[in-house]
Amino acid sequence: MHPLGVAAIVFALSMTIFLGIHDTLRDRTARDAQAVVDRAALTVENWFDRFRALPKLYARSPLIHEALDGTPEPGALVDVSRELERWNDIAGTLDTYLLRPDGLTIAASNWRDAQSFVGQNYSFRPYYTDAMEGETTGFFGLGTVSGLRGYYLSSPVMDDGRILGVVVVKVSITALEEALTQAPNAVYVTDEAGISIISDAPGLRMTAIDDIDAVARDEIARTRRYDVDAIPRAPLERAGSWGATLPLVRGASIAEAGPRPTYLSLSTSLPQERWQLHVLYNLDPLRARLWSIGAAIGAGGIAAMAVLLLLMQRRKRLIDRLVARERDKATLATRVAQRTAELTSANTRLADEVAERRAAVDRLRQTQTELVQAGKLAALGQMSAALSHEFNQPLAAIRTYTENALAFHEAGQADRAAASLGRVMNLTGKMAQLSRNLTRFARRSGQDLKSVEIGPVIDEALELLAARIDRSEARIGVTGDRDALVLGGRTRLQHVLMNLVSNAIDAAHAGQPPEIDIDIAAGEADVTITVTDRGSGIAEDVLPKIFDPFFTTKEVGDGLGLGLSICFNIIEDFGGSMRAANVPEGGARFTVTLRRAETRRVAAE
């Protein structure tokens, strides 16, 4: 099939779908608009029915009869006005007033106002003439005194067949218009002359829908219903019909719609008032929806046409392919042979590439093995440096105790010399244990952690440093929870504390005894040990790298720069943390945070 034929079919199908949707939405819109008309008509009728019985009810009042029967005293008429005022407030009407048979107002609810109806003659009003003929009637008009729109309900005051006067109730139109609000649609009510007297759209109030004929003008002028010459033409114009029976109008923005929207115009009669109620149903939202639906159908049609053309093209290609296949059968054998040769060559190249990749994998594994070996050598180097540093302090202590033992022996103090030698034996045992601990430290194993009581560990560390503490005349205070238990290793924690105390002694100002505070604070989940000195503190540029390996601020030969680094790693092996900071009052503070242990067990050395 030719592409133009496909396009024609798709277009016809799309138009059929669109027109079907269009007719469905039109019928639904007409039903919705008619429902708005019915609701609005019911609202108007119910509104006036609320007040329709009031004039009859008031006309039965003895007070009204007394005011109209004979010549009442002026004070009595004031009492009647007060009562009318009370009735008016209770009923929620605009005005309530009483007319004599000659049409003169003798009492009114607005008797206190400057524009009071009292003394006004309304014999020209239809509601008066109809009531004087014994009818209960209604009338719409502008107040001749107030100039406000209102609906007037009247009833004759009867006494034994005589009409004594007329009771009139004026009902507000503004409140009714608020109840009729149907934005973005518009509702308006026209009287017998075709004048829009009630509307929820301000632009339609008191406007003429069509030209007012001469008879209607004369009647309006006679009853002084309103000034017909001051009534403008409504901002509406006929715009044809939608379908065969739905009239359309176009107008200015009269109900919060856009500029000059198009409305569906429907109406119904209000027979009791001899009025017509009209609804202008805004079609702009529906038109926008139809545009969207049309665009969607158009896009779908284009897509369908594209799919059909694609299928036709694929069908053509398939036929061409079948023809080509038949044409290529004659040369199939040759092409198979050529392809076989190509595959053989490709297999050879693939085998070479596989062999090359295997050799690369072997070289990679060799490189990895060498890297692992290099890592082991680096670990051994770090362990050797650690052993050199960590044995330095115990050896110094052994030398001190040995010198003390010789001095005590020469002085004949055998007991004290034996005690120093005992400490030497303890230290050599602890050095052996230290070697094992450093071996475990090199393996970075944290599985041998047990509970350690902080107090005894601090005491043993200070005892090992006793000779140095005495020489420096250091003052060391230990506060806090000495019984706190932490997870760790007893000897390694002791070495950490010894290193921190030794550094604190070194940090003292020249010529001043070191002052060192050790505090233990036990929390719910961890225990914090702080070592604070009163020295010169740590330079700000040194703080970030204080725990780096081989970093030291001491003179050459005084240290390798591994003490704090090893301490930091020991605390991390315990699952804790270690940080350094300066104290505002002067000096440095090292904080060790360890996990709290639940049970008291002897720690692994």
* pLDDT of 243 strictly over 90: no
412 vs 560, higher pLDDT: 412
542, HSE (Cβ side, Cα atoms, 13 Å): 15
pLDDT band at residue 283 using 50, 70 and 90 as cut-offs: confident
Measured in whole angstroms, how far is the alpha carbon of residue 4 from the centre of its chain? 52
SS3 523: coil
Check which CATH number belongs to the domain holding 486 and give it: 3.30.565.10
8 Å CB contact between 519 and 511: no
Q: Looking at residue 384, what is its pLDDT? A: 53
pLDDT band at residue 605 using 50, 70 and 90 as cut-offs: very low
Which tokens is 66 given? 């007394």
8 Å CB contact between 117 and 95: yes
pLDDT band at residue 516 using 50, 70 and 90 as cut-offs: very high
pLDDT band at residue 560 using 50, 70 and 90 as cut-offs: very low
Residue 313 lies in a domain: no
pLDDT tens sequence across 7-61: 677 677 767 776 677 566 666 776 777 788 888 888 888 888 888 889 999 999 9
* pLDDT of 581 strictly over 90: yes
* pLDDT of 146 strictly over 80: no
Residue 18 lies in a domain: yes
Which tokens is 500 given? 């921190």
Which residues make Cβ contacts (< 8 Å) with residue 396, sequence separation at least 6? none
* Domain finish residue from 172, 197, 231: 172
Shared-domain flag, residues 250 and 157: no
Residue 380 lies in a domain: no
pLDDT band at residue 378 using 50, 70 and 90 as cut-offs: very low
Which residue's structure tokens are 């009338």?
Answer: 139
Q: Looking at residue 369, what is its pLDDT? A: 39
Residue 340 lies in a domain: no
Residue 180 lies in a domain: yes
Distance CA 35, CA 42 (A): 11
Shared-domain flag, residues 44 and 94: no
* pLDDT of 533 strictly over 70: yes
552 vs 468, higher pLDDT: 468
The number of distinct structural domains making up the chain is 3
8 Å CB contact between 494 and 534: no
Shared-domain flag, residues 158 and 204: no
Distance CA 522, CA 486 (A): 9
User: What would the mean pLDDT of 128-151 be, rounded to a whole number?
Assistant: 84
Distance CA 519, CA 502 (A): 16
* pLDDT of 471 strictly over 90: no
Domain of 187 in residue numbering reads as 3-52+176-282
8 Å CB contact between 427 and 397: yes
Shared-domain flag, residues 476 and 584: yes
* Domain finish residue from 172, 195, 225: 172
* Domain finish residue from 110, 141, 172: 172
pLDDT band at residue 603 using 50, 70 and 90 as cut-offs: very low
Name which of 153-167, 234-248, 339-353, 447-461 the model is least confident about: 234-248
* pLDDT of 77 strictly over 80: yes
Shared-domain flag, residues 465 and 550: yes
Residue 377 lies in a domain: no
Residue 33 lies in a domain: yes
Check which CATH number belongs to the domain holding 113 and give it: 3.30.450.20
pLDDT band at residue 153 using 50, 70 and 90 as cut-offs: very high
Whether the full predicted model's pTM is greater than 0.85, yes or no, is no
Give the Å distances, CA to CA, from 180 to 46, 91, 152, 228, 383: 12, 20, 19, 25, 95
Handedness of CA 544, 575, 569, 538 (dihedral sign): positive
pLDDT tens sequence across 397-434: 888 889 888 998 888 888 888 988 898 888 888 777 55
Q: Looking at residue 599, what is its pLDDT? A: 62
Distance CA 64, CA 57 (A): 11
Which residues make Cβ contacts (< 8 Å) with residue 519, sequence separation at least 6? 478, 479, 480, 529, 530, 532
Which residues make Cβ contacts (< 8 Å) with residue 570, sequence separation at least 6? 441, 489, 492, 493, 495, 496
